[in-house]
């Protein structure tokens, strides 16, 4: 994959992730936290708590993806983009097109996930 095209794809991905993250955080901050607001909450409390926990795990996933994208952008700068971090082999361009933040070839990723 052309590094310039990869950079564009990764920058877009990073913007999207940051926007999603800001959106999540914004929603969480907008939740009523004062005890006064919660007095009449009743059964809704459990639902709100559950929603908040769900948001946290989504936010963690977004942060992890954001870190990967940042790493991939750094690898473009270092000139190592498109090379597997484990075996040093070339990551197939098709894989990079589908997942621009990939840092491992298919084989090494499979070993790692096992
Ligand atoms: Zn590899």
Q: What is the pLDDT of residues 56-83, one digit of tens each?
A: 889 999 999 999 999 999 999 999 999 9
Closest CA to 108 of 83, 72, 73: 83
Q: What is the pLDDT of residue 55?
A: 80
Closest CA to 88 of 71, 70, 75, 73: 75
- Going from the Cα of 17 to the center of ligand 1, the distance in angstroms, rounded, reads 26
- Going from the Cα of 87 to the center of ligand 1, the distance in angstroms, rounded, reads 4
Q: Which residue has the tokens 């939740």?
A: 31
Q: What is the pLDDT of residue 52?
A: 64
Q: What span, in angstroms and rounded, lies between the C-alpha atoms of 40 and 60?
A: 31
Q: Is the distance from CB of 52 to CB of 28 less than 8 angstroms?
A: yes
What token pair was written down for 62?
């977004």
Q: How sure is the predictor about 114, in pLDDT bands with cuts at 50, 70 and 90? A: confident
- Going from the Cα of 80 to the center of ligand 1, the distance in angstroms, rounded, reads 13
Reply yes or no on whether the pLDDT at 31 is more than 80: no
Q: What is the pLDDT of residue 3?
A: 84
- Going from the Cα of 48 to the center of ligand 1, the distance in angstroms, rounded, reads 43
Q: Is the distance from CB of 91 to CB of 83 less than 8 angstroms?
A: yes
> Which pTM value belongs to this model?
0.69
- Going from the Cα of 1 to the center of ligand 1, the distance in angstroms, rounded, reads 17
Number of other residues whose CB lies within 10 A of the CB of residue 68: 19
Q: What span, in angstroms and rounded, lies between the C-alpha atoms of 22 and 25?
A: 5
């Amino acid at each position: 994959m052309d590094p310039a095209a990869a950079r564009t794809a990764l920058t877009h991905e990073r913007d999207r992730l940051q926007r999603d993250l800001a959106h999540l955080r914004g929603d969480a901050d907008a939740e009523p936290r004062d005890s006064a607001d919660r007095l009449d909450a009743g059964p809704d409390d459990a639902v709100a708590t559950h929603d908040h926990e769900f948001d946290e795990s989504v936010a963690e996933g977004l942060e992890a993806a954001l870190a990967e994208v940042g790493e991939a952008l750094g690898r473009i700068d270092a000139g190592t983009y498109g090379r597997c971090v484990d075996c040093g082999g070339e990551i197939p361009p098709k894989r990079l097109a589908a997942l621009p933040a990939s840092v491992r070839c298919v084989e090494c990723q499979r070993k790692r996930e096992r």
